[in-house]
Amino acid sequence: MSSREEPVPHAKLSNRRRMLGLMIYAINFPLVLWKLSQLYSNWQQGITLSSTDQLLDLILLASVLGIVVVLPNWTPVFTSKYWLTGEGVKITRLLRKGLTIPYKAIARAEIYIKNKKTGEVSKEAIKYAKDSANTLRRSGFKFQDYTNDDDAIILLIGESKVFLLSPSYPKAFAQKLRKRVGQLPIKVVELTSKGKRERSM
């Protein structure tokens, strides 16, 4: 690891996401093994792969393998890890190619924190956060989700992309990021049981 790389503490993967990841494999892996054994058994019996039954089994197998590989690749069911490097924010996640967001590509940041000290976050506050994200989507921004949990999320917004991360200490991460980016506008939105509180850092 380069001496200029600084690991960023990340939030733990939520139990809901961990269970979803386990279910994907628990349901589909036995099906993959069963279909492979069927294909092999039929092949030993002299049934060619071009037969109708074998082709249908191959199509089903390919579909299941697609779910096993593609779904965890695009759905955050594995832990994402972050680093501040000399070039930008580095992100890695199992089954997905690592990437680095150049500092010059980050125009602004938004932090959304759920404060549950006084009770469950209000529906109005949740709606505000969702509406903010939908506004960016309608404006043409493409979202890339590298979060581990929904309680504290930072959005790194560029010209056409929005990267979602969940560092353990989003405000501290944003301050360190500002030192590397330069003049970085940062908005903090605290979602509470009474609504939302918004301020700039």
| pLDDT band, very low/low/confident/very high, at 43 (cuts 50, 70, 90) | confident
Q: Are residues 115 and 188 in the same domain?
A: yes
What three-state secondary structure class fits 191?
strand
86 domain residue, yes or no: no
Find the range with the poorest average confidence among 33-37, 124-128, 184-188, 194-198: 33-37
1 domain residue, yes or no: no
Question: Which amino acid, residue 131?
Answer: D
| pLDDT band, very low/low/confident/very high, at 132 (cuts 50, 70, 90) | very high
Average pLDDT over residues 41-63: 81
Domain end, chosen from 32, 57, 74, is at 74
Q: What confidence tens digit (pLDDT) does each residue in 133-142 have?
A: 999 999 999 9
Sequence-separated (6 or more) residues with CB below 8 Å from residue 97: none
State the pLDDT at residue 2: 43
83 domain residue, yes or no: no
Question: Which amino acid, residue 125?
Answer: A
89 domain residue, yes or no: no
| pLDDT band, very low/low/confident/very high, at 1 (cuts 50, 70, 90) | very low
Q: Are residues 157 and 70 in the same domain?
A: no
Q: Are residues 117 and 49 in the same domain?
A: no
Domain that holds residue 31: 15-74
Spatial CA neighbour of 136 closest among 101, 161, 164: 161
87 domain residue, yes or no: no
Rounded Cα distance, 175 and 94, in Å: 27
Average pLDDT over residues 2-23: 85
Average pLDDT over residues 56-77: 81
What is the pTM assigned to this prediction? Answer: 0.81
The overall average pLDDT reported for the chain is 89
Number of domains present in the structure of the chain:
2
Q: Are residues 65 and 119 in the same domain?
A: no
**Token pair recorded at residue 91:** 């992100």
Residue 181, number of CB atoms within 10 A of its CB: 21
Rounded Cα distance, 186 and 5, in Å: 23
Cα 136 to chain centroid distance, Å, stands at 17
| pLDDT band, very low/low/confident/very high, at 68 (cuts 50, 70, 90) | confident
168 domain residue, yes or no: yes
Is residue 148 scored above 50 in pLDDT? Answer: yes
Residue 154, number of CB atoms within 10 A of its CB: 24
Q: Are residues 182 and 112 in the same domain?
A: yes
